[in-house]
Amino acid sequence: MKEDLRVELQALKAHPRLGVFCFGTQASSVYWAAQQKAAAELGIEIEGWRSQRPGNAITQEEVEGKIEEWNRACGVHGIFVHQPMPPELDPQRISALIDPRKDVEGIHPQNSARRFFAKARIGSCTALAVMELIESTGVALAGKEAVVVGHSEIVGRPVSMLLLDKLATTTVCHLGTDQAGRLEDHVRRADVLVVAAGRPQLIKGAWIKTGAIIIDVGINVVAGHVVGDVEFEAAKQRAAFITPVPGGVGPVTVMMVMKNTVEAFKLQRG
Ligand code: NAP
């Protein structure tokens, strides 16, 4: 993906610019560092915004003010807001305020709606990264049993839509599924399993169907170590393909942010 983007940027003879809202969390700092590194490698200009107020306190008004500024700026082609947003912000208002043509995470209602009709111009970076990884296996998805664990707006739901678009028979599991004691049943059937729950080792290796494709989106810090939502070592014995954490979905997602920035640039340039 990096090489393809490099070639495309050379052909465009342009340096798209991405504006990123960063928040003070550890996850946001790690993500921001990775985004800066990828942008520098590709020649994409990147600008981070952090609250300048004492203690990094953030207000809805200042975030909205910056979004409006970036919306107006013809030199800014993409806007990305790190998630989860701090509790003092209203995520729905913020999503709706971003110019849909600059919305590189596909969170504006117009972009979410286009995804529903399989007509997305720019989609959720994590969901697209998941699909990129699945498709890199070369396994055709039509008719496969796909199980998604987690139904958040930025990962679980968009992934399930994209799997449906590929004619996978798609089941979405969530907290209710687990509380009803049904998670294992669904996971055992999965030819393709995408887990985005943010619960360390939620999915037991023994549940994995032999030959399955496992995409572990989860990022959890346990005793100072980053782990996913799947028992990696045990699951690896049964899966045909499995993404590690760290080093699996994360780097592909960062590259997808860059790809979406280039897409947004092309969209604005017509
Ligand atoms: P989120 O908004 O907290 O959503 C978590 C989802 O998991 C919810 O739909 C929740 O269901 C479900 N869930 C929670 N506990 C469960 C359980 N015991 N059994 C089944 N489902 C359960 O999180 P998110 O933003 O989607 O992120 C999920 C994970 O992916 C996090 O660890 C996050 O750090 C990671 N992430 C990684 C990347 C990357 O690039 N690698 C990108 C984004 C996110 P209910 O709503 O019903 O409670």
Domains of the chain with CATH codes:
2-123+251-269 (3.40.50.10860), 138-239 (3.40.50.720)
* Ligand 1 cavity residues, CB under 6 Å: 83, 126, 149-152, 154-156, 173-178, 183, 196-199, 202, 217-220, 249-250, 253
Q: Please tell me the total number of residues recorded for the chain in this structure.
A: 270
For the stretch 96-114, pLDDT in tens is 999 999 999 999 999 999 9
Distance from residue 74's CA to the centre of ligand 1 (Å) = 35
The answer to whether 22 touches 81, Cβ cutoff 8 Å, is: no
Q: What is the pLDDT of residue 222?
A: 93
Report, as ranges of residue numbers, the positions in the chain whose pLDDT lies below 50: none
What's the token pair of residue 219?
């990022």
Q: What is the pLDDT of residue 83?
A: 92
Q: What is the pLDDT of residue 157?
A: 97
Start-to-end CA distance of the chain, whole Å, equals: 23
For the stretch 133-153, pLDDT in tens is 999 999 999 999 999 999 999
What's the token pair of residue 170?
């798609």
Pick the closest to residue 216 from 160, 149, 145, 157 (CA basis).
Answer: 149
Amino acid 219 reads I
Q: Tell me whether strands 213-216 and 192-195 are parallel, antiparallel or unpaired.
A: parallel
Helix (H) / strand (E) containing 215: strand 213-216
Q: What is the pLDDT of residue 75?
A: 97
For the stretch 54-77, pLDDT in tens is 666 889 999 999 999 999 999 999
Distance from residue 10's CA to the centre of ligand 1 (Å) = 37
Q: What is the pLDDT of residue 25?
A: 83
DSSP state of 209: P
Pocket test for ligand 1, best of 35, 151, 155 (most atoms within 8 A of CB): 155
Q: What is the pLDDT of residue 103?
A: 98
Grouping H, G, I as helix, E, B as strand and the rest as coil, residue 89 is: coil
What is the rounded distance in angstroms from the CA atom of residue 26 to the CA atom of residue 43?
26
167 phi, psi to nearest 5 deg: 65, 25
Pick the closest to residue 253 from 24, 22, 80 (CA basis).
Answer: 80
Task: For tokens 């990962």, name the residue.
Answer: 155
Distance from residue 127's CA to the centre of ligand 1 (Å) = 12
Q: What is the pLDDT of residue 101?
A: 97
Distance from residue 268's CA to the centre of ligand 1 (Å) = 32
Q: What is the pLDDT of residue 53?
A: 67
Q: What is the pLDDT of residue 225?
A: 93
0.85 surpassed by pTM: yes
Q: What is the pLDDT of residue 54?
A: 62
Closest protein CA for atom 35 of ligand 1: 218
Instruction: State the closest ligand 1 atom to the C-alpha of 229, by its place in the atom list counted from 1.
Output: 32
Q: What is the pLDDT of residue 191?
A: 99
